[in-house]
Structure 1
Amino acid sequence: MLKLGSVLDGKYKIISVIGQGGMSTVYLARHQRLNKEWAVKEISREYCENYEMISRQLVLEADILKKLNHPGLPKIIDIIEKKDVIWMVMEFIEGKTLKEVLKERGRIQETEVLSWGKQLCEVLSYLHSRTPPIIYRDLKPDNIILKKTGRLVLIDFGTAREYCYEKNSTDTTYLGTRGYAAPEQYGGMGQTDERTDIYCLGVTLYSMLTGYSPEKPPYKIYHQQYWGENISCEIKEVILKCMQLEPDMRYQNCKELSYAFSQVDYKKHTSLKTEKRKVKKLIVFIVLLQISGMFSLGCKEAAHFYKEKAITVYIESSEKSIDKKKAEQYYKQALLLIPDEKAIYQSLVKYFIHPNNFSVEDASILTSVVMTTCKEKTVLDIFKENKREGYMEFCYEVGLGYFYDMGGITGKSASEKWFCDVVDLLDDGKKKKTFDEGKKKRVIAYANIARYYNTFLINGVDKSGERENKDFLDFYNELCILNQFKITERSSTSDISAAYLISKEVAIEIANYADEFLRMKEINREMLKKQLIKINGRMRYFERAKKNGKELENLLQDAQRRVEMADGFKYEGDEGDEGGT
């Protein structure tokens, strides 16, 4: 390896290591006379088992790149060869790989994925238009850098090749990355061509859009129904066609794919305009019915029918929209038509609350929607008055969204209002029972835990004893109630999911407050460990339901460790007190 501060070939001063893999090291270097920064890629026999093959690939990469000139490709400056080591000096691309971007964000918004798809399609089109065409063969997030300008640059041409026109020829070796590679890239299964890069591009966009990594087990592309919310049918169609197993079923070249990308925006815009026209026609028809019929029973029924149709269109438009502000307006319009329509509230939960992803912004928009005024009342109040059961279910789901999916002090304290609204309506005698006994116990426990977050857990413990604040014994007792949730072999998927979330919550709270719990004379280490053992007893059910058992196992270990530490500190403190009296 080159030493930092050393000068390569009398020109390039090595500043730092910016990348290191199994076969190569990449340095940041500065040209001493031009004072310009470059990237230097090094292949050394000392660190590379297949040095001969890899060094030939590097020379081939340089030979390909030096003929190219495109803003989406790096420029090659120099090749330096010595015994048992070779360096390639190339343009330094400052930015993050899409793999790093994806790790930071979890998944990428459709508008950005579409923009990146167009850029990459343009780069591939340029490569494929060379004579002979250049097939890249290893398109994946790790090989694409996002510059600060928003421009993408394709790097690492180690697997690229110039296309061979011989009929019936096949690639004899497997090159590419498992999960992203097209079927024909597996040795002997056919020759790679333009359509191979189109397949790899499709998988890359799929990964960006869904957050799933196909290079991790089980190395599969999930069915589109599992891709997530708010992904348009238009972009799904394009990506699915790119990823067809048979090359003849894909887009045949980048020109076709580029046109398909351009049609995504057009189709979505046209679809939205059509839906808006439908809604306008329905509203006009409703108004005319009411005026002309002087509100006769028949006309009122017809008006309600068309209102329901309009609401269906509004809900579909909301769920398809990637613009949350537009979705907000659609939902408000729907609620102004029928404020107590249960389907609208169910759609609101589906649109705004996602597993581990309910932001403060989402919560603010959702609240704005349900606080819409209609006939001098909020639509939520009207829903509560007219459809008590539906209102309670909505409050419970929103409460869970705050408690688990927003989480933290902010989410758990904000959940109190929603859970308490449900508790206030339990068995009030006006309606039939909405929740079974188990669910009733859970919602009461959630409400109490949220209330603790809004009182002594946030504001501090009242050490004077003069106020009526709850203490940690009450908190512990509520966690025990929550942890009574039982599941068996016959439990439903929803019950197992609820038990999993409760188990995580109890483990987290015991870990966070072990010290405070053990300061209460009524609570000891064995009592806390008993609650953790209960959680451990459910693990086999979670594993069968494909829940993240490793995550829960880590939480349990952390809780156990903190209980032991807190118990040790407790006795150390007691000894110290005795010695000082």
Structure 2
Amino acid sequence: MLTIGSVIDGKYKILNKIGQGGMSVVYLAMNEKANKQWAIKEIRKDGVKDFQVVKQSLIVETDLLKKLDHPNLPSIVDIIEDDNTFLIVMDYVEGRSLEKELEEYGAQRQDKVIEWAKQLCDVLIYLHSRKPPIIYRDLKPENIMLRPDGKVMLIDFGTAREFKERNVSDTVCLGTVGYAAPEQFGGQGQTDARTDIYGLGATLFHLLTGQSPCEPPYEMRPIREIRPELSSGLEKIILKCVEKDPAQRYQSCEELLYDIENYDKFDDMYRKKQKRRLFAFSLTLVLSAAFLTSGLVLDHMANSKRNNNYAHLIEEEKQTADITQKMDICQTAIEIKPADKTAYLELILAMKSDSEYSVDEEQLLVNIINKNEEELKKAPATYGEICFETGKLYWYYYSYGKNSSGDEDSNKIIRMRSARSWFDNAAKYSDKTFSKYNMALIYRDIGNFYAQIDQLRTEANDSGEYKTLFKNYQSLLKLIKSGDEAEIVQLELYNAILNSVEQYGDKFASDGVKKDDILSAVEQIEQSLDDISESSEKLTSLKLETKKAVEVAKTKITTAYADNNSDDTNKTDETEKAVDKE
């Protein structure tokens, strides 16, 4: 096993062990020069039987991943091997496996599982569309990582293979019993895309019921026998996925994805409603001439009633103090008028009223927006504004990644990264007349910086990025000061700017940022602190933290510019123009 603290290949420092399987151990490592974390999978000759066979499987895994490019798949960055050890250096995926989610929380919420299923279908569609198609063959909760932003990543390609038509000889017993399709056991047919569909069905069964198909009684019953409240439509989909005969399953993941996106239309209650609607429609055709006028009147009355109910709910929500009740009322209002922004914005206000946006709240809000996305996009400006406020919710209040030690640096980076796609949509769907349009662009670009800078540093391609970051922070500071932002938002921004000075002070200097400009920004923040109240414990604590960060930033500026002979013009005008041009 690798030793904690040791350095591999002269650049990867082993930090700790993060996982262990039957054949391998996975470590978290740091490339200290690039300040980037990686995952390293180790397979030792003395730890497994048939090392050459296992090694060959890993070579297949790495060769496959090198050719793939999908947001739900990790990438390989390095291979290190000798006679006794095989190491794979790959993306470190933040989060934890769905197996861990099951161990801690048991059966998962239906809405969450459906969202994960859609993402998994998408990545399987990508794999199956390669030429030749790639069959994953080991889909299970253990091999699916849940990231902080709610996205899932498919990991461990040790049993994946490229599809060769009519090549039954490559179908050996690879995969995990319970999740593996019958044809994965040699002699029962060839594995193909339908094999992965079986694995996905078994995985969804486990996630929804909390019962593992690889443990007694080794069967997958209809999910509503275990959880009656689940959708009958979803039950039908899963049962079709896990048919023993591949010909009886879904024949492609595109077909499966369509049904998952429309699972409620397979519900028994939905079909009964449709039959009643068909009967009512037929009756309406017969009587339409006689009731046309009265129908228009009733429709007008119904719309008026709906509008009145919506307005009443919004008013009720504003008068309610309990956060949970406020969110429930907003959900009801959104169901009445899914294209109106008011209830969405009130819901976002409710979620940040306790100064924390939890993972459960995230799941609720994202599902509501996704459910009504098509309707909202009919009014792009409305959708853009909702995206902007959602982005701010992530940027300033998202709680994922906080740890008990109080060091929240990782949480701040997660917040920025998670927010950037929302700000991107805010700019994309609104226009320049939107009062927050420029702010959305700045937030997005800062988020992109933190998402990309580690890779850029690894590639030694980060020159000019730090100056752009500082300019964006300057612009955002100006916009925040001229607006009516909440005090906690101001403090969080001040801390982000000060932390960037502490972390990248040397880079700011080498990128040509003037010392006076940085000092001016820090002094503006210091002066603004006098206007911040201490009306809550969190504000008091954050204000104190910001005061300390001011002093740290000042010290860093002095150090970073100490060796520069011209403090205020650290680069020549020619260099500064070149950086600007880049």
TM-score (norm 2): 0.46
| Greater RCO (CA < 8 Å, at least 6 residues apart) | 2
TM-score (norm 1): 0.46
Structure possessing the higher radius of gyration over alpha carbons: 1
